[in-house]
Amino acid sequence: MKVLFLGAEVAPFVTVGGLSQVMYFLPRALNEKGNDVRIFMPKYGSIDSSQSKKTRKWKLKKEIEKLNVPIENIQSKSKIKTSQGVLICNIKSYPKTRKTVHTYFLENREYYELRANLYGYNDDHVRFALLSKGCLEWLMIMEEYCAKKDKRGWMPDVIHCNDWHTGYFVELARTSKRYAKFLARIPVVFTVHNFLYQGNYDFQYGNHKERDTGKTLLAPLLSPKLQLQNALLRGIINADIVNTVSPTYAIEVQTPQYGAGLENILQSIRGKFTGILNGLDTKEFNPATDPIIHKKYSSVNFSTKRLENKLDLQRLFSLEPNPRNLLLAISGRLSQQKGLDILLKIIPHLLSQRKNIQLLVLGSGSEQYRDHISRLAKEYPKQIGLHLRSDFRLPRKFFSGVDMILIPSTFEPGGIVALEALRYGAVPLVRRTGGLNDIVVDFDPVKKTGNGFSFINNDPWDFFATIIEALAVYKQPVLWEQLVSNCMSYDFSWKYSATQYQNLYKNVIEVRRRTTSIMPHLAYKQPLEQ
């Protein structure tokens, strides 16, 4: 299949959050399965900056110069004239390499190149609506090339949009007469990585009387109305299929507790809504080759090597280097979402009653949580070790040596920390929510199956009881070694996720083909309100 990915950030060109990693690893994994995958993204100023020797200069090829992107929502397919109001862009590309798939860049000085950051501007809605329109205009040219059998032409079999930044694309591809006809047979998949982020406006707490329903025409690029239109909502309504980053999160967001105000619309489209768990780069996260960890190991020789790593961590944080002590860890953002409230309630009880338990805490976050945990560290200096700042190297050292990773999250769409911990043999103890529910299988000491421990209620004493349950297993070395072996044997690679996406694409292509063959008029969806 030919697959086009559209997104705001893609590693290794630019990276801010987890989206860039998905946009990097998933297309690569799909390419390795024989698909022709390409990416369309903005060309930020930092991408080819040569002012710093530390910044890689990407040599981009010119594809299209002076692409006129209409400001208004033109309905005809006729050529756009500058007199009609346009933003002038260029299209550049970077070829497929061993580490990257073929990537196209939308270049515009005002909205991308002259900006120091990827996000955080008052006109972010304009910037990403421009990305969507620029991609649509580029696809029009690609379609014309293909019709003329021009070798420069390339048209996808499926278009895969990601997060609110591309919701504008999904809507215009289905509601604009300029684009809907030539895209009629091409399905659009819309992946939402976190439903809290819906656009460049706080739609959840905004004026309820002016709340966007997604049923009006999309406003022009420079209209003040555009910011008040919910790009995520509109992408959800108009996509052929919507998915999120884990099956459990797909169920949770259909409730008021997790839906961020979109639960009703998500319930109404549940027939086209699903969840696929994100993968892990098993080459990058590999204890057998990782240069960062103290002692490398595999699933064959982990017991002695992980023990050496544990002792190294205990010494590094000035804790008693005792292999019999249960070494716990927290790694990530210190926030309410990560379950810090219930963690801080149980720590004094846990450490005062069990002197053989030690806790390492790594991460930055809210000042109130950092202050609280710093006070606890002074109260239990022989049992708590802290590193309250971001660090690229330390998480892997944690995973390679600690006995358990604690993840008591209030909600967790994907659960990447649990995947990384399992890869290194650190047993995850999680609250059963979102991706964590799909990753962790409770250990059964009789059948010797499972890869971790979990609790259900967002309650500190449920959390406390589960730690004590895990401690009982830890005191039986043969059982614990079996559990660690189980952790390292689970396959959460991107290859598995790519297979699921490949099947999703095949199904949605067939559904779209049948729908447009039987009912051609459905190729264009007229908004209900003008």
Name the β-bridge partners of 3: 37, 158
Q: What residues have CB less than 8 Å from 108, skipping those under 6 apart?
A: 42, 43, 87, 88, 89, 90, 130, 134
Per 3-state DSSP, what percentage of the chain is helix, strand, and coil (rounded to 5)? 40, 15, 40
Count the domains in the chain. Answer: 2
Label residues 92-130 b or e (16+ Cβ within 10 Å = b).
bbbeeeeebbbbbbbbbeebbbebeebeeeebbbbbbbb
Residue 6 DSSP one-character state: E
**Per-residue confidence (pLDDT) for residue 76, from 0 to 100:** 83
Q: What is the per-residue DSSP string for 305-356?
A: HHHHHHHHHHHHTT----TTSEEEEEES-BSTTTTHHHHHHHHHHHHHH-TT
Q: How far apart are CA 424 and CA 398, in angstroms?
A: 9
503 and 485 fall within a common domain: no
Q: Is residue 81 part of a domain?
A: no
Q: How far apart are CA 393 and CA 176, in angstroms?
A: 48
DSSP H or E run through 420? helix 416-424
Q: Which of left, alpha, beta for 151 (phi over 0: left; psi -120 to 50: alpha)?
A: alpha
Identify whether the C-beta of residue 410 lies closer than 8 Å to the C-beta of residue 252: no
362 and 454 fall within a common domain: yes
224 and 120 fall within a common domain: yes
216 and 340 fall within a common domain: no
Strand boundaries in 201-297, DSSP class E: 241-244, 273-275
Q: How far apart are CA 453 and CA 472, in angstroms?
A: 12
What's the Rg (C-alpha) of the chain?
A: 25
Q: Is residue 243 part of a domain?
A: yes
224 and 172 fall within a common domain: yes
Name the β-bridge partners of 241: 189
Instruction: List the structure tokens of 514.
Output: 């049948």
Q: Is residue 391 part of a domain?
A: yes
Q: How far apart are CA 63 and CA 490, in angstroms?
A: 43
Name the β-bridge partners of 177: none
268 and 313 fall within a common domain: no
Q: Is residue 286 part of a domain?
A: no
Q: Is residue 358 part of a domain?
A: yes
166 and 235 fall within a common domain: yes
Domain that holds residue 474: 302-489
Residue 475: CATH number of its domain: 3.40.50.2000
Q: Is residue 94 part of a domain?
A: no
Identify whether the C-beta of residue 186 lies closer than 8 Å to the C-beta of residue 156: yes
Q: Is 404 helix (H, G, I), strand (E, B) or coil?
A: strand
The closest of 14, 13, 115 to 58, measured between CA atoms, is 13
Residue 108 DSSP one-character state: -
Environment class of residue 372 by beta-carbon count within 10 Å: exposed (0-12), middle (13-18) or buried (19+)? Answer: middle
The closest of 190, 191, 239 to 214, measured between CA atoms, is 239
The closest of 461, 468, 196 to 356, measured between CA atoms, is 468
454 and 506 fall within a common domain: no
Q: Is 144 helix (H, G, I), strand (E, B) or coil?
A: helix
Q: How far apart are CA 206 and CA 229, in angstroms?
A: 11
Whether the upstream peptide bond of residue 12 has omega within 30° of 0, thus cis, is yes
201 and 138 fall within a common domain: yes
Environment class of residue 151 by beta-carbon count within 10 Å: exposed (0-12), middle (13-18) or buried (19+)? Answer: exposed
Which parts of the chain register pLDDT below 50? Answer: 50-53, 530
255 and 397 fall within a common domain: no
Cα-Cα-Cα-Cα dihedral sign, residues 42, 47, 51, 57: negative
145 and 227 fall within a common domain: yes
333 and 419 fall within a common domain: yes
Question: What is the CB neighbour count within 10 angstroms for residue 263?
Answer: 17
Identify whether the C-beta of residue 408 lies closer than 8 Å to the C-beta of residue 463: yes
**Per-residue confidence (pLDDT) for residue 52, from 0 to 100:** 44
Residue with tokens 């292999």: 323
Cα-Cα-Cα-Cα dihedral sign, residues 63, 65, 68, 69: positive
Instruction: List the structure tokens of 194.
Output: 């976190």
Strand boundaries in 139-219, DSSP class E: 158-162, 188-192
Question: What is the CB neighbour count within 10 angstroms for residue 141?
Answer: 16
Identify whether the C-beta of residue 127 lies closer than 8 Å to the C-beta of residue 44: no
**Per-residue confidence (pLDDT) for residue 511, from 0 to 100:** 94
Looking at residue 393, its amino acid is: R
Identify whether the C-beta of residue 168 lies closer than 8 Å to the C-beta of residue 234: yes
Q: Is residue 100 part of a domain?
A: no
Q: How far apart are CA 135 and CA 174, in angstroms?
A: 14
Q: Is residue 78 part of a domain?
A: no
**Per-residue confidence (pLDDT) for residue 249, from 0 to 100:** 96
